[in-house]
């Protein structure tokens, strides 16, 4: 019987779904059975309504609600404890029932609320299966880490101190590769990437990204990039149709600007670009660095993004701009800077460590 891995994600953004799919593909290549499961339908309509509402951010009210919810749910300890119990009460029995009906040798979570829930279940003894948390943010890791989690996988080695402060001194923590598209480990040359995407071979290329949600000051970032040295700008609006309409209205007649929706060609696009201006932190920043593309974090300093921006500044990983004048300075500097060089550390594969957890005590043998 092949090893069975259950990977829980939440269909609120590619930042959770794509790492789950990449990990599942690597596990299948190694002979395991890997199922990617959207936890929202399992959690039920109440949880789905609460969590799904987090992606309604195309308004001032939505942004303020996101900020308030983040503060109460993660930074204010009493509310965090209550929120953790609420997650367990709303979704705990549903997840227990699902895992009884679909037993696995290892359970992986790429979504922090499921990690919190599974960690609580593991610690309470209601879940016998090893739990792995796949952590794709740099900072703001409450809910990503938990004392009940057996293994924490990091895309950023710099995250270890925060994870250990949450999960405890004895927590097993490993920095890995294999939660991003493996093509990022060997991206194409810039000229080849531009030719593939039919982008101008000459001149500077800046990518302005609002993440999967298409949020942030996309127009301000585009105007600034064009004014301060970009010959071509590709704007990524994700699944946000309102943002697409606004950007097309503003730049539809400007040959220097292309507006893209969600794309699966990020390896080539980031390899083609000189600079990425990105609003929502996460894996996209790491992927850009792997492609020798300098990064400026700008445009949507809300909730956990604000905390990640502070970590970027503290660690000197990427430039952070809080205002358009600061963005102008960052763009000028980034376009004039020399190449970054290889940004792909030699790390173990996430899939190998997940399978190693199964070898300890297969669940289907219990």
Residue 66 has pLDDT above 80, yes or no: no
Q: Residue 33 pairs with which residues in a beta bridge?
A: 4
Burial of residue 298 (number of CB atoms within 10 Å: 0-12, 13-18, 19+): buried
More confident residue, 348 or 55: 348
Q: Quick one: three-class SS letters along 260-301?
A: ECCCCCHHHHHHHCCEEEECCCCHHHHHHHHCCCEEEECCCC
Band the pLDDT of 292: cuts 50, 70, 90.
very high
DSSP string of 7-63, one letter each residue: EEE-TT-HHHHHHHHHHHHHHHHTT-EEEEEEHHHHH-HHHHHHHHGGG--SSHHHH
- Residue whose C-alpha is closest to residue 133's, from 162, 103, 100, 96: 162
Confidence of residue 49 (pLDDT cuts 50, 70, 90): low
Q: Please, are residues 226 and 308 in contact by the beta-carbon 8 Å criterion?
A: no
Instruction: Please say if the pLDDT value at position 27 is more than 70.
Output: yes
* Closest C-alpha to 270, from 249, 247, 295: 295
Measuring CA to CA, which residue among 318, 53, 18 is closest to residue 181? 18
pLDDT at 3 exceeding the cut of 70: yes
What pLDDT does residue 62 have?
Answer: 63
pLDDT number for residue 275? 98
Over residues 214-232, the mean pLDDT reads: 97
Q: Which residues are paired to 174 by β-bridges?
A: 153
What does the pLDDT read at residue 72?
Answer: 59
Count how many residues are written for the chain.
366
Return the pLDDT at 362: 45
Which string of b and e fits 163-184 if b means at least 16 CB within 10 Å? beebbeeebebbbbbbbbbeeb
Given this model, what pLDDT does residue 274 score? 97
Return the pLDDT at 366: 38
Taking the mean position of all CA atoms in its chain, how far away is CA 57?
A: 17
> Is the per-residue pLDDT at 364 higher than 70?
no
For residue 104, give both structure tokens: 């696995």
What is the mean pLDDT of the segment spanning 25-44? 96
CB burial of residue 338 (10 Å; 0-12, 13-18, 19+): exposed
pLDDT at 1 exceeding the cut of 90: no
Q: What local confidence, expressed as pLDDT, does residue 349 receive?
A: 96
Distance of CA 350 to the CA centre of its chain: 16
pLDDT digits (tens, 9 = 90+) for 327-358: 999 999 999 999 887 677 789 999 999 999 99
In angstroms, the CA 210 to CA 174 distance is: 29
Q: Using an 8 Å Cβ cutoff, are 276 and 295 in contact?
A: yes
pLDDT score of 273 more than 70: yes
Contact in structure between 218 and 210 (CB atoms under 8 Å):
yes
pLDDT of residue 24: 98
Residue 35: which pLDDT band, with cuts at 50, 70 and 90?
A: very high
Distance (Å, rounded) from C-alpha 145 to C-alpha 47? Answer: 20
Q: Which residue has the tokens 């992927």?
A: 287
Using alpha carbons, list the distances in angstroms from residue 366 to 5, 129, 149, 269: 16, 10, 19, 47
**Per-residue pLDDT at 161 exceeds 50:** yes
Do the beta carbons of residue 188 and residue 271 sit within 8 Å? yes
pLDDT(8) > 70: yes
Mean pLDDT of the region 230-250: 96
Residues 91-108 have a mean pLDDT of 96
Mean pLDDT of the chain: 91
Instruction: Give the confidence band of 89 by pLDDT, cuts at 50, 70, 90.
Output: confident
Average pLDDT over residues 55-68: 62
The yes-or-no verdict on residue 52 having pLDDT over 90 is: no
The DSSP result for 45-56, as a single string, is HHHHHHHHGGG-
For the stretch 212-232, what's the b/e string if a residue is b when 16 or more beta carbons lie within 10 angstroms of its beta carbon?
bbbbbbbbbbbbbbbebbbeb
pLDDT at 54: 47
Residue of higher predicted confidence among 74 and 202: 202
């Amino acid at each position: 019987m092949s090893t069975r891995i259950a990977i829980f994600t939440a269909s609120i953004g590619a930042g959770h779904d794509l790492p789950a799919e990449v990990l599942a593909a690597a596990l299948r290549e190694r002979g395991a059975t890997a199922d990617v499961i959207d936890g929202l339908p399992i959690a039920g309509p109440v949880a789905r309504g609460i969590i799904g509402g987090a992606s309604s951010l195309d308004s001032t009210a939505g942004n303020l609600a996101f900020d308030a919810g983040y503060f109460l749910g993660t930074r204010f300890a009493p509310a965090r404890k209550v929120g953790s119990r609420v997650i367990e009460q709303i979704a705990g029995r549903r997840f227990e029932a699902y895992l009884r009906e679909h037993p696995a040798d290892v359970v992986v979570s790429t979504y922090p609320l499921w990690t919190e829930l599974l960690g609580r279940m593991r610690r309470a003894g209601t879940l016998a299966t090893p739990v792995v948390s796949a952590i794709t943010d740099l900072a703001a890791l409450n809910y990503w880490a938990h004392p009940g989690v057996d293994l924490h996988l990091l895309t950023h080695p710099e995250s270890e101190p925060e994870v250990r402060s949450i999960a405890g001194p004895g927590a097993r923590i490993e920095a890995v590769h294999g939660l991003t598209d493996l093509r990022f480990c060997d991206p194409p040359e810039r000229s080849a990437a531009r030719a593939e995407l039919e982008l101008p071979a000459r001149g500077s290329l800046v990518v302005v990204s609002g993440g999967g949600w298409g949020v942030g000051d996309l127009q301000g970032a585009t105007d600034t990039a064009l004014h301060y040295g970009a010959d071509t700008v590709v704007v990524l609006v994700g699944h946000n149709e309102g943002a697409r309409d606004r950007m097309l209205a503003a730049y539809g007649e400007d040959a220097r600007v292309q507006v893209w929706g969600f794309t699966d060609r990020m390896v080539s696009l980031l390899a083609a670009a000189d600079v990425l201006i990105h609003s929502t932190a996460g894996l996209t920043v790491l992927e850009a660095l792997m492609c020798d593309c300098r990064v400026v974090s700008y445009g949507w300093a809300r909730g956990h993004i604000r905390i990640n921006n502070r970590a970027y500044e503290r660690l000197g990983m990427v430039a952070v701009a809080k205002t358009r004048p600061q963005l102008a300075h960052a763009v000028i500097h980034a376009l004039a800077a020399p190449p970054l060089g290889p940004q792909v550390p030699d790390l173990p594969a996430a899939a190998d460590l997940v399978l190693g957890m199964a070898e300890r005590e297969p669940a289907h043998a219990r």
